[in-house]
Amino acid sequence: MSVMEKLIITAAVCGAEITRKQTPYIPLTPEEISDEACAAREAGASIVHIHVRDENGKPTQDVKIFKRTLDLIRKKCPDVIIQVSTGGAVGMSADERLQSIYAEAEMATLDVGTTNFGNDIFVNDMPLIRHFAKKMNEVHIMPEFECFEIGHIYNALRVVKEGLVKGHLHFDFVLGVPGACPADVRNLIRMVDSIPSNATWTVSGIGKHEFEMAAQAIAMGGNVRVGLEDNIYLSKGVLAKSNADLVEKVVRISKEIGREIATPRETRKLLEIKD
Ligand code: KMH
Ligand code: ZN
């Protein structure tokens, strides 16, 4: 294997969709989410992707809940890179979704295209993408482009060309969402070939595809996102008891292949985020 950069692991700790009915291990409160985020960091994640829930466990983009959660994360594990979601949940308004960028995180997701999302439609049209990119630029938060389809990459490149996103480009290929691009290595290769050569990328394999996509990304020199947002099983029929369980499995696979894990400081360097 040629020399590769260290592996950046992102932990997507709770998301917006998973319920306690599906797994008792999904964190819901700011305390639980911050505990899970820091355990994932301890296990090897250098970025935590954060959604929050209200007092009933429903997804919310309330900036106050984000701030409380981020404060707790910073107290418990100050060095982890916090990436807030601006995707929120299907059906939320753009204004509601955008609140999270005011919680003073280093990164935020920028969903760069509309997609089928199970039985729903997750709406991200060009005016919304441009608006989110402008606002992120204003508050100096680094976007990660979430691509559910190959065409989404071209929407991202369009806002870059328009000057709305500056600096290092980092992509997340979300593969295996029902209704969107399937988790298949040929799709992954095509997507990787479509981004600029100096950009970085990670893959989020959804559901049973999580570790298959992770192993492929590790071998290809990309990076990996895992977490209960994307997949609740450690192996077939065995629920992961925490996000850290999922991160530890990626660390094991990566070390077996001979790729070391990036610390948050090393990740900041790779993504050109100021320390
Ligand atoms: N919950 C999905 C509809 C993101 O975080 O930016 C959107 C999502 C993507 O999770
Ligand atoms: Zn998310």
pLDDT tens string 163-215: 999 999 999 999 999 999 999 999 999 999 999 999 999 999 999 999 999 99
Tokens read off for 3: 């020399």
The type of residue at 272 is E
Tell me how far apart the alpha carbons of residues 116 and 78 are, in angstroms, rounded to a whole number.
36
Q: Structural domain of residue 75, as residue ranges?
A: 9-271
Tokens of 45: 């994640």
261: which 2 tokens?
A: 């894990």
CB of 123 closer than 6 angstroms to any ligand 1 atom: no
227 lies in some domain: yes
- Residue pLDDT, tens place only, 4-49: 999 999 999 999 999 999 999 999 999 999 999 999 999 999 999 9
DSSP state of 209: G
Is residue 3 a part of any domain in this protein? no
30 in any annotated domain:
yes
The separation between the first and the last C-alpha atoms of the chain, rounded to the nearest angstrom, is 30
Instruction: Count up the domains in the chain and report the number.
Output: 1
Instruction: Determine the residue type at 115.
Output: T
To which H or E segment does residue 143 belong?
A: strand 142-147
DSSP labels for 94-122? HHHHHGGGGG--SEEEEE-S-EEETTEEE
Give domain status of residue 248, yes or no.
yes
If one counts every other C-beta atom within 10 angstroms of the C-beta of residue 267, the result is: 25
185 lies in some domain: yes
Residue with the smallest CA separation from ligand 1 atom 6 is 87
Question: In this structure, what CATH number is given to the domain that contains residue 197?
Answer: 3.20.20.70
C-alpha 117 – ligand 1 centre gap (Å): 10
User: Per the confidence metrics, is the pTM higher than 0.95?
Assistant: yes
The confidence score (pLDDT) of residue 3 equals 76
Q: Choose the residue to mutate in 97, 101, 110, 111 for probing ligand 1, maximizing ligand atoms within 8 Å of C-beta.
A: 111
> Of all atoms in ligand 1, which is nearest to the CA of residue 109?
6
2 in a domain, yes or no? no
The β-bridge partners of 115 are: 122
Ligand nearest to the CA of 121: 1
Distance 263 CA to ligand 1 centre (A): 25
Say if residues 246 and 231 touch (Cβ distance below 8 Å). Answer: yes
CA distance 168 to 198: 8
